[in-house]
Structure 1
Amino acid sequence: MAIHRVSDAQPDGEKYTQAHTHDVDEINILIGDEGGLKYEIQLGDERFEVESNTSIYIPAGTPHAANVLSGSGYFVVLRLPQKGENL
C-alpha cells in the first residue's frame, strides 16, 4: 500500500506516472480535501477524468497511469496479492 499526499496541484504540473503494468490487481482510491481532487486515469488506450471520492480497479497486466489534474487530498494505491502470495 502507498499513500500519497497531494497539495494544491495545478493542471500544468509534472506527470506523476507513465503507463506501466503490474503482475497483480491494483485499486486506486482518491480522497479529496474540501475542494476535491481530480486525476486523469489511463487504462489501456482509454483516458478518464475522475474526481474524489472514488476508487478505480485495475486488473493485473493492464497498462495504466495516474496523473493529478487539480486539487488536494490523498491518492491511495493498493496492490492485491494473488492467492498464497505476499507483497
Structure 2
Amino acid sequence: CRLVLGVDSGPLHLAVAVGTSTVHLYGPVDSRTFGPWGDPARHVVLTSDMDCIPCNRLDYKVDELEDHPCVRDISEAQVSEAARRFLDS
C-alpha cells in the first residue's frame, strides 16, 4: 500500500507504524499532540485554520456530524493535492 488517507483514527496510526505514507484529516483535536509520529516527509496533516481549534470537542451528535465545521473547512482540493504528492512520485 502506497498511501492511507483518513481522519484521525486507529487505522491511520497503524499505517504510520508500519511505514506507509499517510494523509491525515484533523478536526477539533490538536494535530501536534495526536498527529503522526515518524518521518514528516512521509505524512501530511490537513487541518482547518479556524481560531477555535483545538477545541477538542468530540461529543458531536450524529445529526451534527455532517456540518462538523472544522472538518468541512478542509477542501477536496487540499486532500487531492496532498494525496498526489505521494501517488505521483
* TM-score tier after normalising by the smaller chain length: under 0.3
Give the TM-score of the pair, scaled to structure 2: 0.26
- Structure with the bigger percentage of strand: 1
Bigger share in helix: 2
Q: Which has the higher contact order (CA 8 A, sep 6+)?
A: 1
